[in-house]
Amino acid sequence: MEKAIDYRSDTVTRPTPGMLAAIQNAPVGDDVFGEDPSINELESKTASYFGFEAGLYCPSGTMTNQIAIKCHTQPGDEVICDVNSHIYQYEGGGIAFNSGASVKLIEGDRGRITAKQVANAIQPDDVHRAHTSLVSLENTANRGGGSCYQLTEIESIRNVCGENDLILHLDGARVWNAIVAQKEDPKEYARLFHSASVCLSKSLGCPVGSVLLGDRSFIKKARRIRKVFGGGMRQAGYLAAAGIYALEHHIERLSEDHTHAQLLASAIQECSFVKFLLPVETNIIIFELIDGRSAPELVAELKTQQVLAYAIAPNRVRLVTHLDISREMIETTIKAFRSLQ
């Protein structure tokens, strides 16, 4: 399907010529010995972008989240998160599998939970109860349609965490999109979160990789767990070089993806088979179909027009804009949607 316009995820991007050149020219070494200059540079660059002390390069966002949860919890602890969060929905039950912890699920607003909900979800200090130790927020929220938190709400959540001795983790797979859309100062993140997981392989267009961020002692512990999880890589500086390139070249351009998503969303909204669209804040479009229409069928129809989308529920379809989607492709896609009326 080389000709197809692929909106299934922002993970489908291919490295640009500039990124490929950076990969080819990367200085490398054995990272398990701490000797890969490109990985060391990526870790410190990412950490200082967000104002954290240190970073740890990992193969995936699942691994960075799971290492963080493992570091922050003991077996039997409870993790507070939104019911639609990636750590709960899409990491293979890893919270239980890797950390022996349980979850307290909150019904948030498009993936975002409030300080009040967090406060209400904390277990009382009672031998019958699980011990609440961690709160995890997702920004942007994937199943929330790329919705963004207000920093003031995160501040309130952090205060609740402070008062109750809880750790606050950020699943920031697409935090770059939130920063660009909300014109935030990335350095606010280190102030509000104990740790953060950020993906390079999503909206930043890298082939592989995520970075876990936190203070030095947390990252030291995380490095040990990464090895246990099988994530210690060797000359992975070739991959980290793509990350360095992306930090320098692919953050500001995200506003283009957001504009593309807006354009496409307004056209989709007009289609007779669409019941409603979630508000589009960043690069994700999620819409629900009118009764009687099925998402997998619509996805199949779109595919015959060379447009690839993803059925995230029996009646919900998701499209994600990214680096490899041009304005021209958006126009073609709008025509394809209109032809399906």
Ligand X SMILES: *Cc1c(COP(=O)(O)O)cnc(C)c1O
Residues that bind ligand X (CB under 6 A): 60-62, 65, 86, 138, 142, 171, 173, 199, 201-202, 210
Residue whose CB is nearest to ligand X in the complex, by number: 61
Q: Which helix (H) or strand (E) holds 80?
A: strand 77-82
Nearest CB to ligand X, comparing residues 30 and 184:
184
Nearest CB to ligand X, comparing residues 62 and 99:
62
Cis peptide bond prior to 140, omega within 30° of 0: yes
Q: How far is the CB of 279 from ligand X (least distance, A)?
A: 18
**Distance from C-alpha of 283 to C-alpha of 261, rounded to nearest angstrom:** 5
**Distance from C-alpha of 300 to C-alpha of 233, rounded to nearest angstrom:** 39
Nearest CB to ligand X, comparing residues 122 and 205:
205
Q: How far is the CB of 194 from ligand X (least distance, A)?
A: 17
Nearest CB to ligand X, comparing residues 12 and 121:
12
Q: How far is the CB of 219 from ligand X (least distance, A)?
A: 19
Q: How far is the CB of 336 from ligand X (least distance, A)?
A: 25
- The tokens describing 148, both together, are 């963004």
Q: How far is the CB of 233 from ligand X (least distance, A)?
A: 15
Nearest CB to ligand X, comparing residues 145 and 337:
145
Q: How far is the CB of 11 from ligand X (least distance, A)?
A: 7
Nearest CB to ligand X, comparing residues 31 and 171:
171
Considering only CA atoms, give the Rg of the chain.
20
For CA atoms 211, 217, 220, 226, give the dihedral sign.
Answer: negative
Q: How far is the CB of 86 from ligand X (least distance, A)?
A: 3
Instruction: Annotate 288-313 with three-state secondary structure.
Output: EECCCCCHHHHHHHHHHCCEECEEEE
Q: Which helix (H) or strand (E) holds 131?
A: strand 131-138
Nearest CB to ligand X, comparing residues 122 and 286:
286
**Distance from C-alpha of 173 to C-alpha of 152, rounded to nearest angstrom:** 20
Q: What is the DSSP string of 254-277?
A: HHHHHHHHHHHHHHHHTSTTEEEE
- Alpha carbon 261 to its chain's center: 17
DSSP bridge pairs for 194: none
